[in-house]
Amino acid sequence: MSAANADGHSSYFDAADWGAVQRQHPIGADFVHFAKTISRDELFARQNALFLKSVARAWRTLFYRKLWGDAGVEPGDITGLEMIASLPSFDKSDIMDSIARKPPFGDFDARDSHAGGPPNVVMHTTSGTTGTPQVLLFGAKSREVQNLLLARLYRFQGLKAEDVVHSVYGHGMINGGHYVREAVIHWTSAIFMSAGTGVETRSARQVELMRDFGATVIVGFADYIKKLARVADEMGIDPVRDLNIRMISGHLGREDRDSLSKAWGGAECFDWYGVGDTGIIAGEGPDRAGLYVMEDAQYLEVADIETGKPVADGQQGDMICTCLYKDDVYPIIRFNTHDVTRFHTDKSPLGLAFRRIEGFLGRSDNMVKIRGINIFPQAMGPLLEEHAAFAGDFICKAVRDASGRDEFIVIAEAREPGEALRAEFADLLKRKLGIDVGVELAKPGELANLTQTEVRQKPIRLIDERF
């Protein structure tokens, strides 16, 4: 790694030894060999070494000195990864408080802790799905590790050098689209088309681009990818006959991937999970037997939603993530995503040493408790998919009547709305959830203004009118 130039500036490309980065975090066939041959003890030793470097950087930020100091943790107390569960976690509210204390970047970024002067930094923001957009800062090395990990997953899932990748992730200040673009063009040989959302490139034009440039892979959020198949049909372009999509990789959650695959002529569909702060945390492999945690770079805990204590494997809880490789800018040690999952307890069908999670099961801070039952609004999609008349979009409402009784209402698009069909949807949800919920039906496309599927990367799924 070279020093800064005489005028104090350094290059992004001089920020790390990129060969060493690839040896630390293998990609392609090297990754598969690595994940099959490393022992759990060897993996933990690698994790521990990276963790201690991240802790050293974190102590040089005001954010962690306050967070850990308030919990009675002093320098020297953190001796290894085995004690990580005793450290306090933090979440987005703590980051927003940090930004309020020291606007506009906050006191968590560690930019002023480098002896050679300010490091190269990439700045984006979150999408603001759960509130005000948050600033995201990445050092050059940690940014490229994030990019490599995502490209690793795409290649693990089957991305080939000759593929043309059509991306429907948003751009602008939002991190997602830029991060995915960098992953593909920096760490694969595939051609990348950054179409963006329906606002950036209207849906009909996206279909034409896929046809004209021979797209073979789509990456993005499942809701909008489904919409593109419907738009193609409306344009008289058969998604199966006229397009050649063989692979879809994105954020599927609990959605019915069979219907998504069928809409695109049997394309193989893969799920992956990550958030803006952490980049990719886990993703499906070719076995599609859960999401493999990128454990050489990420340390993942699953904690009880109420107490924050670790839960037994197989039980669901909040994902708390530590980015082991972020030792340059914005260290992330025990970030509570408030996204819910569970660890798998069976062995990897592929013989990989890495642990697997179920995937995204909902947000604990978006969870609705109705008459003692915890309901995740995002989970309604997979349930509704079981009925052939469901047209793909939905939104939920939580309301409270004058007597103080809470009700949960699911508004779903249906191909031919009617009272008989409404009753069928209500019966389906009652059988799956164990309680009666209200059901309202809408025609295809009517909920777009509420869910904002065309505009947002992550559609709105809950309107809470109780408070």
Cβ neighbours of 153 (radius 10 Å):
25
Q: Which amino acid is at 230?
A: R
Mean per-residue pLDDT, 104-112: 88
Q: Do both 188 and 295 map to the same domain?
A: yes
pLDDT at site 20: 94
8-state DSSP, 317: E
Residue 205, pLDDT above cutoff 80: yes
The 10s digit of each residue's pLDDT in 278-290 is: 999 999 999 999 9
Last residue of a domain, which of 342, 363, 384? Answer: 363
Full-model pTM = 0.83
Residues 466 and 264: their CA atoms lie apart, in Å, by 40
Average pLDDT along the chain: 90
- Amino acid 433: pLDDT: 83
Domain identity same for 108 and 244: yes
- Residue 40 belongs to some domain of the structure: yes
Residues 359 and 414 in one domain: no
Of the three residues 330, 346, 363, the one that is the final residue of a domain is 363
CA distance 321 to 92: 13
Last residue of a domain, one of 312, 330, 363: 363
In a domain, 1, yes or no: no
Q: Which residue has the tokens 């009880």?
A: 304
**Residue 3 domain flag:** no
> Does some domain include residue 268?
yes
Residues 179 and 194 in one domain: yes
Residue 129 is predicted with a pLDDT of 55
Tokens of 455: 């505009």
Average pLDDT over residues 437-462: 85
DSSP for 131-185, please give it: SS--EEEEEHHHHHHHHHHHHHHHHHHT--TT-EEEE----TTBHHHHHHHHHHH
- Count other Cβ atoms within 10 Å, centred on residue 181: 19
Across the range 204-226, mean pLDDT stands at: 94
Q: Residue 2 domain-assigned?
A: no
- CA separation for the pair 289, 149 (Å, rounded): 19
CATH number at residue 430: 3.30.300.30
Burial string for 64-74 (b: 16+ CB within 10 Å, else e) reads bbbbbeeeebe
**pLDDT of 24 above 90:** yes
Span 443-459, mean pLDDT? 82
Domain shared by 125 and 234, yes or no:
yes
| 164 part of a folded domain | yes
Q: Among candidates 345, 342, 271, which has minimal Cα distance to 305?
A: 342
What is the chain's alpha carbon radius of gyration, rounded to the nearest angstrom? 23
Q: Is residue 334 located within the same domain as residue 459?
A: no
Instruction: Tell me whether residue 4 is in a domain.
Output: no
Paired sense of beta strands 291-293 and 298-303, if any: unpaired
Are residues 344 and 305 part of one domain?
A: yes
Does 110 share its domain with 52? yes
Check whether residue 439 and residue 320 sit in a common domain.
no
Q: Do 195 and 167 form a contact (C-beta atoms < 8 A)?
A: yes
Residue 203 tokens read as 């849906």
Q: Which residue has the higher pLDDT, 364 or 188?
A: 188
Domain CATH number, residue 128: 3.40.50.12780
Q: How confident is the model at residue 407 (pLDDT cuts 50, 70, 90)?
A: confident
Shared domain for 244 and 374, answered yes or no, is no
Q: How far apart are CA 304 and CA 174, in angstroms?
A: 30
Asked whether residue 31 is assigned to any structural domain, the reply reads yes
What total of structural domains would you count in the chain? 2
Residues 289 and 393 in one domain: no
Do 276 and 380 belong to one domain?
Answer: no
Cβ-contact 439, 431 below 8 angstroms? no
Concatenating the DSSP letter of every residue in 197-266 gives STTTS-HHHHHHHHHHHT--EEEEEHHHHHHHHHHHHHTT--TTTT----EEEEE-TTS-HHHHHHHTTS
Print the domain residue range for 28. Answer: 9-363
Which residues are 250's β-sheet partners? 220, 271
